[in-house]
Amino acid sequence: MQKSLIIILLILAVGCTQKLIISDNNYISDDNYVQSTINKIKDNNISNKGFFIEKANISIKTKSESKKFLFNGKFQPPDKYLFSIRSKSGIEGARIYIDKDTLLINNRIEKKLLFGKPKDLAEVLGIPYVILKRIFGDCISEESIEQASFERTENHLIFVQKEKEGTWTSVLDTKNEKVKSTEYLVGNGRQKIEIIYSKFGKEGKHIPENIEINDVNEGNIIKIKILKIVIPWQGEVDFIPGKGYIKEEIK
């Protein structure tokens, strides 16, 4: 659906050129240590506060083409997002609003206002809604811990979470107290998404400058480079529908 829009929106969904490598050694059963480590890393989640990505570069490579875009985004806790995607010349192609109940997209190329539910992200972007907060390097955990391992030489903790729709496997950097990489396996393996983060900010700003995401099954690759971000940011996220746009439900 909306194929011209999908090419634009893929920049939020896909990319990465490296494999997630997980060690089978040194599994530990100290749940107190594991939970304490995870809690410290969760304390550094940038979604704990509002943020405004003022400037970012995104490159996307699909099986058929490669493109580069400009990107900015706002997040208002606990669940409101607003993304703007522009050409390198600054012309906006799409504006996307997401909260826990709603998905709205101004498709400025086709002059359409697309509307649906957050679950429809999988239809439009090719990724599930649950991946949003993890795109920027946050550790999102449930109450139960399935298994974890500690790689003592590199200060890593492997954290595996089984959720209703799929399984997350994250490599946690216990020294810098951030997620180093994560992998999401949907259902019976029909979709596999890998994300790798690098060049975290200093002085308590636990924000990855470089983000690589890979939709393994589709072979799509994207690289995000955050150039300027305001955090904490205390503004409000507002979405203004395109004037005169044709409304179209995402199906």
| Cα 73 from Cα 12, distance rounded (Å) | 11
| Cα 188 from Cα 193, distance rounded (Å) | 13
Give the tens place of pLDDT for each residue, 77-107: 999 999 999 998 899 999 999 999 999 999 9
Answer yes or no: is 168 within a domain.
yes
The residue among 247 and 128 whose pLDDT is bigger is 247
Q: How many residues does the chain have?
A: 251
> What per-residue confidence (pLDDT) applies to 221?
87
Nearest of 63, 101, 58, 117 to residue 83 by alpha carbon: 58
> What per-residue confidence (pLDDT) applies to 145?
52
In terms of residue numbers, what domain contains 23? 15-240
Residues forming a β-bridge with 103: 98, 116
Q: Examine the pLDDT at 11 and tell me if it is beyond 60.
A: no
What's the number of domains the chain is made of? 1
Answer yes or no: is 183 within a domain.
yes
Answer yes or no: is 230 within a domain.
yes
Give the tens place of pLDDT for each residue, 178-213: 899 999 998 777 789 999 999 987 655 678 999 999
Answer yes or no: is 80 within a domain.
yes
Q: Examine the pLDDT at 25 and tell me if it is beyond 50.
A: no
Q: What are φ and ψ of residue 119, in 5° steps?
A: -60, -20
Give the tens place of pLDDT for each residue, 28-40: 445 677 778 888 8
Answer yes or no: is 9 within a domain.
no
Give the tens place of pLDDT for each residue, 100-149: 999 999 999 999 999 999 999 878 876 778 888 899 999 876 555 544 45
Answer yes or no: is 247 within a domain.
no
Is residue 250 within 8 Å of 115, Cβ to Cβ? yes
Answer yes or no: is 3 within a domain.
no
Answer yes or no: is 66 within a domain.
yes
Rounded to two decimals, the pTM is 0.81
Tell me the CATH number at 92. Answer: 2.50.20.10
Please state whether the peptide bond connecting residue 232 to the residue before it is cis, i.e. omega within 30 degrees of 0: yes
| Cα 146 from Cα 98, distance rounded (Å) | 30
Q: Examine the pLDDT at 20 and tell me if it is beyond 50.
A: no
Is residue 91 within 8 Å of 97, Cβ to Cβ? no
Encoded amino acid at 92, one letter = E
